[in-house]
Chain A
Amino acid sequence: MKGDLLDIVCCPLDKHDLELDATEREDGEIVTGTLTCTECGEVYPIEDGIPNLLPPDMRDEAPA
């Protein structure tokens, strides 16, 4: 994901801002990292360049 996606996305629970912590970047895009809600502190993972912004109770992998 690109960093400017933060202008559009927010916490799915309380709709507050997210703070980016990028651990891996490639060609200016964030490949791995986290997005943390500045209000509730919920942490959303970014993996393979795609943020998982599902509410936490839906985040666990679905059964195969």
Chain B
Amino acid sequence: MTDDESDGDGPSTGSVRATYDRIAEHFSKTREYPWPEVEAFLDGRSGAVALDVGCGNGRHTELLAERCERALGADLSREMVATASERSAERGFDYGLAQADASSLPVRSGCVDLGVYVATLPHLPSRDLRVASLDELARVLSSGGRALVGVWSTEHDRFDESEGFDTTVEWTLPGGESVDRFYHIYDPDEFRADIAESGLDLVEFEISSGNCYGVVRPES
């Protein structure tokens, strides 16, 4: 880690970015389809402006672009944003893209009607940054805006732990090389607590396929 200040002993945001820059092309190919929980959240919803935080290859940004007048996909990794750019051009989707940090969003306050923030929050390397990113989501949502926050959780079959913990999960590239990715695996109570700590209100909560999902709105 040479490019970024690390929080104590934990991994840095820079290392997560470096990992995704490196695995972007292969990762994108394995992330073809949107998650059913995201489709269910978006069903019947629309708005003027949509935001996908941690958009990866844009598979969920595409759904937002179909439902809202305008959509923006944001991702920390330059290479992931590049895959989204290629994919949207190939598929004829029209949405904006930016390289951005979830805990300091370059998005105007109160302008987002519909947000998706899935499979990204666990990559932020400290609780302070994770709560800061939820505060940022609260800031950018419009008064009637809603977002779906989804995180990998201890409810998943692969984890024995019952309390949230930090770990690294390997991504295996074609050819066999492995690249580590930092994750904070949430337990459900902790997920609720982090949302409560932020400027968001939890409107709905569910556990599905080992993930915690929360529909959130800005604190009233």
Contact = CB atoms under 8 A, between A and B. Distances in A.
Contact of A9 (B17, B76, B106): B106
A9 B98 contact: yes
Contact of B4 (A1, A8, A58): A58
A12 B106 CA distance: 4
B125 to A, nearest CB: 12
A52 B99 contact: yes
B3 A54 contact: no
Contacts of A51: 98-99
Nearest to B17: A62
- If over half of B's interface residues share one DSSP class (helix, strand or loop), that class is named, otherwise mixed; here it is mixed
Interface string A14-50: 0100000000000000000000000000001000111
Contacts of B97: 1, 50
Contacts of A1: 96-98
- If over half of A's interface residues share one DSSP class (helix, strand or loop), that class is named, otherwise mixed; here it is loop
Contact of A54 (B21, B49, B76, B107): B76
Contacts of B17: 58, 62
B98 A58 contact: no
Contact of A10 (B78, B99, B101, B107): B107
A44 B106 CA distance: 11
A60 B76 contact: no
B202 interface: no
A53 B138 CA distance: 19
Nearest to B111: A8
B99 A60 contact: no
A52 B100 CA distance: 7
Contacts of B4: 57-58, 62
Given A8-B108, A8-B111, A52-B98, 17 more contacts: A2-B96, A8-B49, A9-B72, A9-B98, A12-B101, A12-B104, A12-B106, A13-B104, A44-B106, A48-B85, A53-B99, A53-B100, A55-B101, A55-B104, A58-B17, A62-B17, A64-B18
8 contacts: A5-B98, A49-B85, A51-B99, A55-B101, A55-B104, A57-B5, A58-B4, A58-B101
